[in-house]
């Protein structure tokens, strides 16, 4: 079966990758259109070797569309995703607008693809770009020993702030490297060149950032276990693409390093790198451009008997956004859910 697709937010950092990923994965397309705001309407975008004109987002644009892959700010998704769903499409949405809505499944295909059979509002939420690789790595371990508590510190790339974040990054790095004054950031909340920022997101009243609260709530929803404790510290680092995560996970039951490594080595979507066998450890330069979640540095936590530490890296624009959304769309077609 091939389907009529609309890519919304087609001109952004995630939308750009969405076009690449759809073509690379040979998604079964009958027709495709690209939508954005009036700022980009009329511009050309490339898809599978052909140029397409970007259309202005408007309700009529969704007529006949079966799958919408949306990567806009939340406010835009709140307005347009229900319109697209009412027109008969299933929307896979990258914003945070619908993630905690009990009527919208929050899906990482390697973890909870069956949730796709429970789409009440016509909207599937694509999770946060930290929560996705975290859950891909946790799932095979959870199946063995049941996760009790997760402490995670992130090393998040500039592209997590979209096209504007990347412009900040490039301008700052080139000025910094040549000893010139570093330009004031427009997307990031501080200087990223030669620096790290832990308050690159809005601070919520509970002392955690908006990003950290997403990691807490979304991890529990994806894993289907609201009792899992999650304590994140999210940090922006001067890396262009790919988020890294230092994770310590406590289990209800004992789990040896050897058994954890064996499970990760055969887990779907995981590339396990065993540095103890003379191999490399996962780095952003490995993950950039890949749809996989890279896992390494698995070791016993010396301070807690049922706990392991590990290191996880994934491309935030791909597995953290576009590729996970396309994988959801593939499952919707494969399972006969899209009509």
Ligand X SMILES: NC(=O)c1ccc[n+]([C@@H]2O[C@H](COP(=O)([O-])OP(=O)(O)OC[C@H]3O[C@@H](n4cnc5c(N)ncnc54)[C@H](OP(=O)(O)O)[C@@H]3O)[C@@H](O)[C@H]2O)c1
154 binds ligand X (CB under 6 A): no
Give catalytic residues, as residue numbers.
129, 243
Q: Which of 94, 158, 248, 323 binds ligand X (CB under 6 A)?
A: 94
72 binds ligand X (CB under 6 A): yes
Are 66 and 80 a contacting pair, CB within 8 Å? Answer: no
| Encoded tokens for 308 | 């392991």
Which residue's CB is nearer to ligand X, number 140 or number 162?
162
Q: Which of 74, 112, 191, 217 binds ligand X (CB under 6 A)?
A: 74
Stretch that binds ligand X, among 10-18, 144-152, 271-279, 283-291 (CB under 6 A): 10-18
Candidates 85, 81, 103; CA nearest to 94 is 81
Candidates 192, 71, 215; CA nearest to 135 is 215
Measured between alpha carbons, how far is 309 from 201 in angstroms, rounded to an integer?
A: 26
| Residue 108 DSSP class | -
Which residue's CB is nearer to ligand X, number 111 or number 308?
111
Q: Which residues contact 326 (CB under 8 A, 6 or more apart)?
A: 18, 21, 22, 25, 27, 69
Minimal CB distance residue for ligand X: 12
160 binds ligand X (CB under 6 A): yes
284 binds ligand X (CB under 6 A): no
x/- site string to ligand X, residues 202 to 241, per CB under 6 A?
----------------------------------------
14 binds ligand X (CB under 6 A): yes
DSSP output for 177-233 = HTTPPPPPPSSSSS--TT--BS-SSPBPTTSSBHHHHHHHHHHHHHHT-TT-EEEEE
Q: Which of 21, 22, 32, 36 binds ligand X (CB under 6 A)?
A: 36
The counts of H helices and E strands in the chain are 9, 14
Q: Which of 81, 159, 244, 293 binds ligand X (CB under 6 A)?
A: 159
- Interaction site with ligand X (CB under 6 A): 9-15, 36-37, 39-40, 57, 71-74, 76, 94-95, 129, 159-160, 162-164, 316-317, 320-321
């Amino acid at each position: 079966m091939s389907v009529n697709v609309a890519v919304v937010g087609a001109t952004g950092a995630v939308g750009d990758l969405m076009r690449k990923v759809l073509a690379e994965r040979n998604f079964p397309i009958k027709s495709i259109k690209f939508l954005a705001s009036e700022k980009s309407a009329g511009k050309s975008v490339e898809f599978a070797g052909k140029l397409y004109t970007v259309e202005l987002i408007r309700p009529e644009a969704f007529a006949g569309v079966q799958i919408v892959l949306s990567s806009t700010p939340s406010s835009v998704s709140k307005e347009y995703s229900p319109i697209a769903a009412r027109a008969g499409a299933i929307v896979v949405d990258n914003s945070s607008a619908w993630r905690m809505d009990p009527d919208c499944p929050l899906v990482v295909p390697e973890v909870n693809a069956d949730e796709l059979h429970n789409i009440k509002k016509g909207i599937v939420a694509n999770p946060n770009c930290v929560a996705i690789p975290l859950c891909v790595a946790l799932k095979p371990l959870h199946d063995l020993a049941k996760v009790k508590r997760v402490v995670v510190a992130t090393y998040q790339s500039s592209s997590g702030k979209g096209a504007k974040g990347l412009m900040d990054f490039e301008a700052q790095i080139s000025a910094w490297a040549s000893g010139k004054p570093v330009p004031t950031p427009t997307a990031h909340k501080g200087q990223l060149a030669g620096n790290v920022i832990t308050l690159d997101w809005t601070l919520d009243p509970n002392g955690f950032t908006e990003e950290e609260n997403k990691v807490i709530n979304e991890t529990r929803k994806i894993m289907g276990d609201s009792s899992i404790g999650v304590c994140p510290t999210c940090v922006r680092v001067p890396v262009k693409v790919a988020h890294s995560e230092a994770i310590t996970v406590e289990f209800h039951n004992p789990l040896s390093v050897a058994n954890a490594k064996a499970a990760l080595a055969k887990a779907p979507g995981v590339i396990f790198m065993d540095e103890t066998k003379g191999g490399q450890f996962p780095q952003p330069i490995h993950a950039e451009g890949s749809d996989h979640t890279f896992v390494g540095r698995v070791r016993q936590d010396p301070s807690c008997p049922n706990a392991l530490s590990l290191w996880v890296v994934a491309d935030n624009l791909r597995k953290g956004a576009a590729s996970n959304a396309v994988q959801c769309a593939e499952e919707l077609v494969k399972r006969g859910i899209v009509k």
